[in-house]
Amino acid sequence: LRLRERRVSERLEDIEAELSPRFAEGEVGAEDEVGAEDGEVSGTDTSVNICLVCGFESFNLSLYRGVARDLRRRTEGRVNLSVFSDRDVENNAGEVEEALAGSDVFFGSLLFDYDVVQWLRERVDPVPTRFVFESDLDLMALTRVGTFTMAPPKDGKKAGPPPAVKKILELFGSNREEDRVAGYLTMLKFGPKLLRYLPGKKVKHLRNWLEVYGYWNQAGATNVLSMFSLIVNEYAGLAGAHSKLKTDEVTEMPNQGCVHPNARGMVFKDPASYLEWYEREGPLKSTGAPRVALLLYRKHVITNMSYIPALISEMEDGGLVPVPIFINGVEAHTVVRDLLTTAREQDKTTLKKGAVQVDAIVSTIGFPLVGGPAGSVEAGRQQEIGAEILSSKNVPYVVAAPLLIQDIESWEATGMTGLQSIVLYALPELDGAIDTVPIGGLVGDDIFLVKERVKRLVGRLRGWIDLATKPRDEVNLAVMLYGFPPGVGATGTAALLNVPKSLEGLLKRLKGDGYDVGDLPGNVDGEGILTALRALEDARAGAAHLVGAAEEAAAAVGAEVVREEVSPSELSRWLSFPEHWGPTEWGPLPYLPDSKILLDRLEQQWGQLGSPGQLGATPDGKYACLGLRFGKVTVGVQPMLGIEGDPMRLLFERDLTPAPYYCAYYKALEFSWDINAVIHFGTHGTVEWLPGSPVGNTGLSWPDVLLGNLPNVYVYTANNPSESVVAKRRGYGTIVSHNVPPYGRSGLYKELLSLRDLLNEYREDRAEGAALREPIEELVKATGLYSECPLEREGEVLGFDVWVQELVSYLDVVENRLFSEGLHVFGQVPTDAQVEAYLQAYGGEAAEAAEISHLLRRSDEELDGVARALRGEYVLPTPGGDLLRDGPGVLPTGRNIHALDPYRMPSETAEVRGAAAASKILDAHRRQGSGFPETCSVALWGLDAIKTGGDSVGIVLALVGARTIRDSTGRVARFELISLDELGRPRCDVVANVSALFRDQFKNVLELLDDLMLRASRADEPVEMNFVKKHTEELEREGVDRASSRMFSNPSGDYGSMVNERVGSGNWDEAGELGDTWVSRNAFSYGKGGEAGNARPEVLKALLETTDRVVQGVDSVEYGLTDIQEYYANTGALMRAAEDARRRRGWEG
């Protein structure tokens, strides 16, 4: 502090020069309505009214209400503090508005919700004194304390700290850009003391602002009471000689430190001091147990949140030594960088005195590592810094936090909400966080711990730490291949991956890294391994001759057959919870799960365990789990999910369960074969898609139940971040990406080559080519091109020369269309010819081509990524995506891929592309002489949306006539209606065909779209110019509830339309049945206000009757419309449903 005082003293003149203009009378002038020249107010005989609205600290509401009672008692009712949360703005706006209207002071904290911020901005300006801390920048800009303001400068720049604050801030930060916000905290702590050195009147209000922040930041009832007393004394004083309210000195708690429930009242200055105490008195002293750094919210520690000591105790019960470090949140990266080290860290020059060695890092805060809540506004920019810090530590980084903006009951019922999932999943994943476990949530305004979830967290941490410490030749590994659909030779297949060759490379790498792979031959035969696995599947029933054939096939590839027969009693034990578990373990759920709840659900679906004829059961009622064992590496095939003939059924019905055989296989990995880690090999398996919470696993989510504590290394194609996110979040997958195959060009087949020759001959000599007109037209019709390039349009015949030119252009497009050529071999560096194929497809400048060429040749890092994960190391994150669209940023592969920030969807370019696509859709409809379409169905699919940045969302906005509104951080905050005058046409209605992936990953976008459709339906516009309003009012006249619903998907927690399954099983007679199936599976509405999968079939069916256009964006080189069955299962079935609905109404299809 003395050093800082000396630095300030040396620069007093510079600082005063900055401050003087800011507080000059001419600058504030007539705006200063607080009273005296320096902002003081005279006493009042009437009451003082203060309105407080808090956001992300609803856990403090009871504290604030207690302070409000104390203030009223101390002032005989003359100081009224009204306390609200941001939820009250949404649910009880009238009462909040009334409190604001008569307020002398407004106090806001941690307010980020766009609608709440906008509502407050419109109403707090008349309040004379305004304090806003750690909130949206536009709301903080309304701060006014006497003559001190945080309003944006007059030059039009964004709001931010005024020059006075910036000048002092320079004294407290390091030279690192990422430490800017952490330095801000230090300034706020020491600023009031240092400002004593400056002339009083000019800095009084700045000093008061800093002191008020200091009280608030230090928290606790005494500090908060003094804070409001100071505000009343300085800015809304009471009349009378003894009206000054008593204020105490700030009761300070360090900005960071370590705590433990057994060290009552003690705060350790750094981790080393803490461990020194722990080795003397800690519960696991002298045990050598693994250490786990535990980053805690400082305010939760200060306010004595009960979940923190319970969390620490649970970690110790699980054999882990916690190193609990409390922080404000914004400086997490400085703690990890400067105070934590690991056995693997190479460069320890950044470490400070007091640093300690740990085996893993757990954050209970979420958000990005760099900047925390404040860093979320620029998470992408700071991502590289966070990854660099975590990579240097090279241990698992896990987020395990309570839900601070969602209650436990809604989490259990429908999964995690949009904003909450972004805080715990989307933003930390940018840093490479794995195995996120929600460990509790709100009940009312209090935070409760779910100990069952903490046990899962501890178990998974132990699994990763064991991988790091166990000798490699003692590690048991399982490699899980896929075999769906069964019986058609699909064993050992995966999207875009050559599984046999890739498996050969993996086994060789494992051998080279010291894992026990038995007598693996030098020339590993991947195809032979798959042959042996197919033989195993045939031998599952136990027939002697089939078992012998399987053993012979296994021996041929250097493996032995491993067979584990799981008895019903054994499976029952594995799937049962301890009988003594009650509310202490499960938390305050709406019901108390029985210890046999999973078994009851299993037997309700499949009958008694071990019943004759059950899938995978032997004649004596056991479940035969088979695999090939290479030393301590077991290669197996993921079991079928359900019954033969309907193998995927359970994916689409939330109350169903996987078959007992499926459960037995996964639990046998953990408990019978003592597997230390499982490798899911390729895109993709099924365990992450099992029934359960859509986002945020609970103890009853089947992916969580079956994977248990097994570290899951998941090999995934780099261009599919949408589905890999499901594997990461629901299946605890540490993703290791692989490249897509090189690209080829489709060329032209024989008839099209003949057509091109005819066209070229005609163009060379049009006079002589007249005789070619008829053959050209006949060949165009014969090849099916006439529907794409008709000669006659809208009753008019094109000029033949114009038509020929169109045909030539169309053939060029067809000839040069890209496609994936072959399959990728995991970890194999592409040949020069393959690199050239990538580069030709990509195009670009020479410098960029050289960069891409270099990155492509780093494909061997794919095997490095698996090797790092199997050693319990940190796997570098990178965005998933498509090289051709997203550029070299998706390379190199072998990385833990993540999706984009949901709050940036749609991107600005996606909005432009979407508008252009919508314009073409409308033009095409009008060319048919049909005017503007009343309703369009638009597919909102997760994969395409991530790859394009949200083109499909842009299409929806353009059709409805809306644009994005972005907040001061660039995040999309609202979709605003464009005026009809500007739009120049009617608003089209849109029914969104939302995939389950989009539903789960972009809940915030669905809420914004739902809000847009509601406002469009209420707009003061004629119905002939607003089809959203027209259709909504028609439904409302029929008594239909929530008639503005437009976002439709599967039921919450379910995936898929079931059309594929009906087609695959032949369980249909005519196409209309498939359309009906789609409607029954997609009539569930999503949006704001708890709209999370409510069945609204009457709205969907009515909209289908007016659907004129069905829009499905396809953004893929690797896949076309005929490559993925979901296109016909969703878009095709939807089209049929719309056609049938229109016919029933008497319209043409």
* pLDDT higher than 80, residue 885: no
* pLDDT higher than 60, residue 987: yes
Identify the burial level of 802 via C-beta atoms within 10 angstroms of its C-beta, where 0-12 means exposed, 13-18 middle and 19 or more buried. exposed
Q: For residue 815, what pLDDT is reported?
A: 73
Exposure string of 511-520, with b = 16+ CB inside 10 Å and e = fewer, is: beeebbbeeb
- Between 78-87, 197-206, 450-459, the lowest mean confidence (pLDDT) is in 197-206
- Between 160-169, 201-210, 322-331, 451-460, the lowest mean confidence (pLDDT) is in 160-169
pLDDT band at 714 (very low <50, low <70, confident <90, very high): very high
State both tokens at 495.
Answer: 């999207």
- Are 878 and 896 a contacting pair, CB within 8 Å? yes
Q: For residue 1139, what pLDDT is reported?
A: 77
* pLDDT higher than 60, residue 28: no
* pLDDT higher than 60, residue 377: no
Question: Average pLDDT for residues 342-349, to the nearest whole number?
Answer: 93
- Are 355 and 341 a contacting pair, CB within 8 Å? yes
State both tokens at 728.
Answer: 């990461």
Cα 510 from Cα 516, distance rounded (Å):
8
DSSP code of residue 987: B
- Between 252-261, 662-671, 697-706, 736-745, the lowest mean confidence (pLDDT) is in 736-745
Give Rg (Cα) of the chain.
32
Task: Report the side by side order of strands in the sheet with 733-738.
Answer: 560-566, 623-630, 633-637, 477-481, 677-681, 712-717, 733-738
- Are 372 and 298 a contacting pair, CB within 8 Å? no
- Are 962 and 944 a contacting pair, CB within 8 Å? no
* pLDDT higher than 70, residue 757: yes
Q: For residue 1055, what pLDDT is reported?
A: 65
* pLDDT higher than 50, residue 650: no
* pLDDT higher than 60, residue 241: no
Q: For residue 1, what pLDDT is reported?
A: 43
pLDDT band at 23 (very low <50, low <70, confident <90, very high): very low
Which comes out higher in pLDDT, residue 1128 or 808? Answer: 808
Residue positions counted in the chain: 1149
* pLDDT higher than 90, residue 1113: no
- Between 41-55, 60-74, 506-520, 1131-1145, the lowest mean confidence (pLDDT) is in 1131-1145
Q: For residue 252, what pLDDT is reported?
A: 83
Q: For residue 837, what pLDDT is reported?
A: 86
Query: Measuring CA to CA, which residue among 943, 495, 944 is closest to residue 717?
Result: 495
Question: Average pLDDT for residues 53-59, to the nearest whole number?
Answer: 88
Q: How many Cα neighbours within 13 Å face the side chain of 101?
A: 6
* pLDDT higher than 60, residue 946: yes
- Average pLDDT of the chain is 85
- Between 32-36, 684-688, 839-843, 1005-1009, the lowest mean confidence (pLDDT) is in 32-36
Crossing angle of helices 180-194 and 2-10, rounded to 10°: 80
* Residue 479 φ/ψ, nearest 5 degrees: -110, 120
* pLDDT higher than 70, residue 181: no
Q: For CA atoms 770, 775, 778, 783, give the dihedral sign.
A: negative
Query: Measuring CA to CA, which residue among 763, 1037, 1078 is closest to residue 937?
Result: 1078
- Are 874 and 390 a contacting pair, CB within 8 Å? yes
CA distances from 692 to 414, 651, 712 (A): 9, 10, 18
* pLDDT higher than 70, residue 871: yes
Q: For residue 32, what pLDDT is reported?
A: 34
pLDDT band at 34 (very low <50, low <70, confident <90, very high): very low
Which comes out higher in pLDDT, residue 266 or 6? Answer: 266
Q: What percent of the chain has pLDDT over 70?
A: 83
Which comes out higher in pLDDT, residue 974 or 903? Answer: 974
Q: For residue 279, what pLDDT is reported?
A: 96
Residue type, 1099: V
- Between 225-239, 421-435, 663-677, 790-804, the lowest mean confidence (pLDDT) is in 790-804
Alpha-carbon 1079 to chain mean position: 28
Question: Average pLDDT for residues 506-526, to the nearest whole number?
Answer: 95
* Residue 744 φ/ψ, nearest 5 degrees: -125, 175
Q: Answer left, alpha or beta for residue 941, where phi above 0 means left and psi between -120 and 50 means alpha.
A: beta
* pLDDT higher than 50, residue 390: yes
For residue 635, what are the β-bridge partners? 479, 628
pLDDT band at 1052 (very low <50, low <70, confident <90, very high): confident
What would the 3-class secondary structure string for 495-558 be? CCECHHHHHHHHHHHHHHCCCCCCCCCCCCCHHHHHHHHHHHHHCCCCCHHHHHHHHHHHHHCC
Q: For residue 869, what pLDDT is reported?
A: 98
- Between 461-470, 537-546, 574-583, the lowest mean confidence (pLDDT) is in 537-546
Q: For residue 1122, what pLDDT is reported?
A: 46
* pLDDT higher than 80, residue 422: yes
Question: Average pLDDT for residues 564-572, to the nearest whole number?
Answer: 96
User: What ranges make up the beta strands (E) of 185-308?
Assistant: 257-258, 291-297
Segment holding 202, helix H or strand E: helix 200-218
Q: For residue 183, what pLDDT is reported?
A: 59
Q: For residue 205, what pLDDT is reported?
A: 87
* pLDDT higher than 50, residue 26: no
pLDDT in tens, 92-137: 999 999 999 989 999 999 898 888 999 999 999 999 999 999 888 8
* pLDDT higher than 80, residue 235: yes
pLDDT in tens, 290-339: 999 999 999 899 888 999 999 999 999 999 999 999 998 888 999 999 99
User: Taking the complete model, does pTM exceed 0.85, yes or no?
Assistant: no
Cis bond leading into 580, ω under 30°?
no
Cα 618 from Cα 192, distance rounded (Å):
77
Across 501-510, 768-777, 798-807, which has the greatest mean pLDDT? Answer: 501-510
Residue type, 281: E
Q: For residue 22, what pLDDT is reported?
A: 44
pLDDT band at 625 (very low <50, low <70, confident <90, very high): very high
Residue type, 980: L
Q: For residue 1081, what pLDDT is reported?
A: 80
By DSSP bridging, strand 1084-1086 and strand 1092-1095 are: antiparallel
Segment holding 102, helix H or strand E: none
* pLDDT higher than 90, residue 1126: no
pLDDT band at 618 (very low <50, low <70, confident <90, very high): confident
pLDDT in tens, 1057-1092: 555 555 555 555 566 676 777 778 888 999 988 788
Cα 79 from Cα 268, distance rounded (Å):
39
Query: Measuring CA to CA, which residue among 395, 321, 437, 480 is closest to residue 709?
Result: 437
